[in-house]
């Protein structure tokens, strides 16, 4: 069974620091990985996608993928209070929909 694991948190980070969110997955066939941000009471919104090993940067966000270790991470630099949300890691293998982790609740402390 395909699984995506995340620490549920809460992860508390001071404003301006780097927030590091981690995710592991069980399906070695997964080719694509996505990070979604979900505010309370809202639906998830896509913030990053990554398909190959290494780092991918977009503004304050950096996604990292290590297929050998089956590990995906998201770094948020210069954390802002508005970054406080639940971050969902998701993996895709084959033609199926995404397999989501349970999410990490991130709190940025002003």
Partner 1 sequence: GAVVSQHPSRVICKSGTSVKIECRSLDFQATTMFWYRQFPKKSLMLMATSNEGSKATYEQGVEKDKFLINHASLTLSTLTVTSAHPEDSSFYICSARDRTYNSPLHFGNGTRLTVT
Residues that bind partner 1 (CB under 8 A): 31-32, 34, 36, 41-46, 49, 51, 88, 90, 92, 96-98, 100-103
Of 49 and 70, CB closest to partner 1: 49
Give the side-chain half-sphere CA count within 13 A for 72.
32
Q: How far is the CB of 102 from partner 1 (least distance, A)?
A: 4
Nearer to partner 1, 8 or 12 (CB): 8
Q: Which letter does DSSP use for residue 81 in this model?
A: G
Query: In angstroms, what is the minimal distance from the CB of 84 to partner 1?
Result: 15
Min separation Cβ 19 and partner 1, Å: 20
């Amino acid at each position: 069974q395909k699984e995506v694991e995340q620490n549920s948190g809460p992860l508390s980070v001071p404003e301006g620091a780097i927030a590091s969110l981690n995710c592991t997955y069980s399906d070695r066939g997964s080719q694509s990985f996505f990070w979604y941000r979900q505010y309370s009471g809202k639906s998830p919104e896509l913030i990053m996608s990554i398909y190959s090993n290494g780092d991918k940067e977009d503004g304050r966000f950096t996604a990292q993928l290590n297929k050998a270790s089956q590990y995906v991470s998201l770094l948020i630099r210069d954390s802002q209070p508005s970054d406080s949300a639940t971050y969902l890691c998701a993996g895709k293998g084959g033609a199926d929909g995404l397999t989501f982790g349970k999410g990490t609740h991130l709190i940025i402390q002003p």
